[in-house]
Structure 1
Amino acid sequence: MQPYLLGIDIGTGSTKAVAVDLNGNATGISQHYYPVKTPQPGYNEQDPELILQAFISCITDMVKKMEQAPFAISFSSAMHSVIPVDSNGKALADMMTWADARSENIAQKLRNSAAGQDIYKTSGTPIHAMTPLCKLMWLNENENELFFLTHKFISIKEYIWYYLFNEFQVDYAIASATGLFDIIKLDWNTEACVLAGITADKLSTPVNTTYKRADLKPTIAAILQLNTDTHFIIGASDGCCANLGSFVTTADVASLTIGTSGAIRVTSMQPVYNYEAMIFNYLLNASTFICGGAVNNGGIALNWLLKTFLNKNLLAHTDYDEAFKSIATIPAGSDGLIFLPYLYGERAPLWDTKSCGMFFNIKPQHTQAHFLRAGLEGICFALNDVLQTIEKTSTPVKQLNISGGFITSKVWTQMLADITGKKLAIVQQDDASAIGAVFLAMDALGLKPIDQQSPVSSAQNIVADEVNHQTYIQSFLVFKKLYTDLKVTMHWVHDIGL
């Protein structure tokens, strides 16, 4: 049997393990799901023990499928999670996910202050309710007893890492997404910690993303069916790993991923700052920055559209197929119908938790298929908004390397090319974040330089239809103006509880 590595991607809805051979080829996959809790408006929580069990199941599944243990395991993980734990690494409360918005008022106040600008410049992290900084400020104000009982505030990757090695350590990528980390000095930022009401000893020890260990506890090795000297590489965040797994290593090529949410990222040797649009600057390693913006409304908005207009509680693959067939019958621009996709508020470049979704310019000729196409166009417009913001601050992007489940839809990928006017390259059929984690492991172990990975084949390229692109230029101008014109009304409606 050929040796292999495992890339583990700890996501919001599931944990996925992807087996990769020493040539960089994906050879197997396992995925386990878990629920999200929303006990109150603005709350978004998960049980970290369920995620740990999913992680264990993914590894044991892959050992069984591959008929041998992996040579090495490397991590990708969702960002911005917060778990208060005791000195034994046990959770004292459920995990607050990236989508938890209960600290939105704290975040808004901080964003409008001079301190907020300083925090953004030092941390590279947008000032938003998603960040651990704002979550800790909220816990300090509202859960005082829990706050002071907590030994450490950690992320879900740190929770699993402690299970493996009985030590609190965090990689630079996850740390750089907290709002508490100095991305230049590579250490916790004292000023941010003071704002959060903590000292640095309440946080894990930062290490580089290529940090590795091979001293697994025998009891844990037996549970996972691994050797005690299996190499574990701490890895990076899902966004940073996705860039690596999408072969995006320069500023003129961007990665675009769509899952539940969506994001556009470029790779840079220095931070790219834009306080108004809050471009993020997360660390891939000690000297490389992943810069870009994330939107809230990706696949989650499409699912709402399909469930609502198809009147279904559960969606099957055939529902997506039929929907995309009907969308293909409608011309670009949906005969003037425009959708603002801000169903769950919005992150980049608006950073507006009070924004909402809407359809505009509804006419008698608009059918169900029009609404579905306009909905999909709205999701793409939001991503194009991020792309143009990055280009204004950084350098022009000539190509988008795309990954995520949406790449299987020819309608969606062509629409994205037509709206952005960019060439798209499908770079990874499997999970780009898990693959990127494996590339980090290869680098850490000296197996294969990252820049020698296989290039994108021309057969996977998608180019824009120029006629459709010109139509979308006009629609996008309306899309942008709609939010500007309606922002005050959106906030008013949100504040009065409608």
Structure 2
Amino acid sequence: MNPEASAQLNLGTGAQLLRRVAAPQPVRSPVTHLYVAADHGWYAMAAVQNAGLALDWAGFVLGLSWPELVAAAQESPAGAGGVSFLPFLTGERGGLAGPASRGAWLGLQASTTRAELARAALEAMVFAVRRSAELLGPIGPAVRLTGGGGRETLVRQLLADCLGVEVRRTEIRSASATGAAILAARGAGVRLAVPGRESPPVAPRDDPALEEAYRRWCERLPAADA
């Protein structure tokens, strides 16, 4: 992990949020992962199974391509008119939800629009990351973002606003595969430069409506052992 960033977030089919840990601390029933780092120390990871996977599904059933889904979400204010989306199409892990949990749109009414459904789905991905951050512990003042799920400006702004930290996206294709190659090279005694460029950082904004939507989403979450 780059020492300049307090945490690393990869948004793809799933989501993985990682931060440095000085020393391992045994936990009887852990809800996050802990690994030894390749250089020194340790890193903790909170993993979400349903991130881009759930958004792809939502776009499919709403008849929207990815650009159209994002455009529709921008038409709805934060909070999606009171609608919450539970993205657990394949169950979940850890303290976020249980393996038997499933997806749903909740809070529907006769006036609910497709834009609000799209907005709720997009917000749910961000909310799942925030809940993971709360399970993981302090992530510091910034998050370095990779993965196709973070290409859109709206997603980066929602992440910054919801996490309350600056978001710095590194433009790199197949970040996980690239990272594996860099680690393999390091194991062979070769140092590879990290490719890619960094997009302008996105600063967090105070958004009471988004905060209320997150509180409502948490209240609607299924039990983690469900």
TM-score band by shorter chain is 0.7 to 0.9
Residues 423 and 429 of structure 1, relative CA distance in 2, 3 Å threshold: same
CA contact (8 A) 1:295 1:347 kept: yes
The residue aligned with 2:146 is 403
1:44-55 matched pairs, under 5 angstroms: none
1:259 alignment partner in structure 2: 12
Partner in structure 1 of residue 70 of structure 2: 324
- 5+ residue gaps, structure 2: none
1:349 paired with 2:95, answer yes
The sequence identity of aligned pairs, in percent, is 23
2:48 aligns to what?
Answer: 295
Matched, 1:474 2:217: no
Q: CA deviation at 1:288?
A: 3.2
CA drift of 1:424 comes to: 0.6
Alignment partner of 2:223 out of 468, 478, 487: 487
- In the alignment, which residue of structure 2 is the partner of 1:422? 165
Does residue 281 of the first structure (1) align with residue 34 of the second (2)?
yes
Output the amino acid matched with 1:259: G
Task: Tell me if the contact between 1:327 and 1:372 (Cα under 8 Å) persists in the aligned partners.
Answer: yes
Instruction: Go from structure 1 to structure 2 and tell me whether the alpha carbon gap of 1:384 and 1:280 turns closer, same or farther (over 3 Å shift).
Output: same
How does 1:40-119 map onto structure 2 within 5 Å? Answer: none
Structure of larger gyration radius: 1
TM-score normalised over the length of structure 2: 0.86
Cα offset for 1:382?
1.0
Number of aligned residue pairs: 226
Q: 1:270 aligns with which of 15, 23, 26?
A: 23
Structure 1 residue 351 displacement after superposition:
5.3
Alpha-carbon distance in structure 2 between the residues aligned to 1:419 and 1:321 = 22
In structure 1, stretches of 5+ residues that fail to align are 1-243, 312-318, 492-498
CA distance in 2 between counterparts of 1:438 and 1:463 reads: 31
Question: Is the contact made by 2:31 and 2:135 (CA closer than 8 Å) also made in structure 1?
Answer: no
Residue type of the alignment partner of 1:292: M
Q: Which residue of 2 aligns with 1:304?
A: 57
- The change in CA–CA distance for 1:344 and 1:272 in structure 2 (over 3 A counts) is farther
Q: Closer, same or farther in 2 for the Cα pair 1:307/1:274, shift >3 Å? A: farther
Q: 2: distance between equivalents of 1:273 and 1:381?
A: 27
CA 1:333–1:274: 2 relative to 1, 3 Å: farther
What per-residue deviation string (whole Å, max 9, x for no partner) do you get for residues 365-424 of structure 1? 320110011011112111110101112xxx442111111112221222222222212211
Q: Which amino acid aligns with 1:444?
A: G
Residue range with higher mean Cα deviation, 423-432 or 273-282: 273-282
Return the alpha-carbon distance in structure 2 between the equivalents of residues 352 and 464 of structure 1. Answer: 30
SS at 2:45 equivalent: strand
CA–CA distance in structure 2, aligned partners of residues 371 and 479 of structure 1:
14
SS in 2 for 1:267: strand
Is contact 1:277–1:389 with CA below 8 Å preserved after alignment?
Answer: no
- SS state at 2:50 partner: coil
Maintained 8 Å contact 1:282/1:291: yes
